[in-house]
Copies of this chain bind each other. A is one copy, B any other.
Amino acid sequence: MGILAVGSVALDSVKTPFGDVEEVLGGSATYFSTAASYFTGVAVVAVVGEDFPQQHLLALQNLGVDTLGIERKAGKTFRWKGEYGYDLNNARTLDTQLNVFADFSPRLSPEQRRQEFLFLGNIDPDLQRVVLEQMERPRLVACDTMNYWIEHKRPSLRSTLERVDILLINDAETRQLAREPNLCKAARTILSWGPKTLVIKRGEYGALMIDGKSAFGVPAYPLEEVIDPTGAGDSFAGGFLGYLAAARSGERSAMRRAVVFGSVMASFNVSEFGPRRLASLTYPEIESRFREFRELTHFEDL
């Protein structure tokens, strides 16, 4: 058994200082499942419109992703249009068209309900709970969220968090969610609401994992070419949860390696537009970058 991933499958138009693309395959479930596919089986639950190119589904299937749960509905596919400046840490959303995603209400098949690992992509926390309630006995639940839900759906998000093991979130969202400027205090507050572990994504600065006992930090891979940061967070989540599902361990050493594998997948993803680079990796390339991360961070004890 592998991972069930619920989120968006979208068509993205992105402009960065290094170029632009129109209507490429995007969405949280896309980036997540593409990254996770190198580690374990992933089934996606999402919705697309009649206009969604069949080739995109085939691309996911070629990676071994189970796309049976990607429902095709009358109407248009979710579209997102965004722009990044030289500060690639923050996207400026130019346009969001929810289209068929507006009425998305995930219905899981019996097989999907039995998956052991669940990733709740960045969707309405009400929907995240609709999924949670259909699961039989997930061994591990990870979820993502964003500033919009923190601002407009706080009580619902709090309810979701009560049932989540790992929250993946960026640092600004951590502070916003806890209403606390100090990141460590903010993390402690959020941990008291349910999640056992917080994985804080910090873009070009790396990631920080905090649980009740300890903290683990890893810098981002220093890249000379960052072309398009879209999907970095979901690629991270895919590498992270993918490795955990494959390792079948929630032990400290596995959790730490999972953060590194998340960082590895995010570092590949940002080096080309869309999920192109992420979709064309080999496992040896992934292992090799993992070792580079060790090289990047290792120092000897006293």
Contacts and interface: CB of A to CB of B under 8 A. Distances in A.
Interface of A: 17, 86-87, 181-185, 188, 202, 204-206, 208, 210, 214-220, 222-226, 253, 256-257, 259-260, 287, 290-291, 294-302
B214 A217 contact: no
Given A204-B183, A205-B206, A302-B290, A222 B226 contact: no
Contact of A215 (B205, B217, B222, B226): B222
B222 A300 contact: no
A203 to B, nearest CB: 10
Oligomer: number of copies: 2
Contacts of A182: 223-226
Contacts of A225: 182
24 contacts: A86-B181, A182-B223, A182-B225, A183-B204, A185-B224, A188-B224, A205-B205, A205-B206, A208-B219, A208-B222, A215-B296, A216-B296, A216-B297, A217-B220, A218-B299, A219-B219, A253-B299, A253-B300, A256-B300, A257-B300, A257-B302, A287-B302, A294-B299, A294-B301
A86 to B, nearest CB: 4
A217 B226 CA distance: 18
The 3 closest A-B pairs by CB, nearest first: A217-B219, A205-B205, A86-B181
A225 B218 CA distance: 21
Contact of A202 (B205, B208, B291): B205
Contacts of A216: 296-297, 299
A188 B259 CA distance: 28
Contacts of A302: 257, 287, 290-291
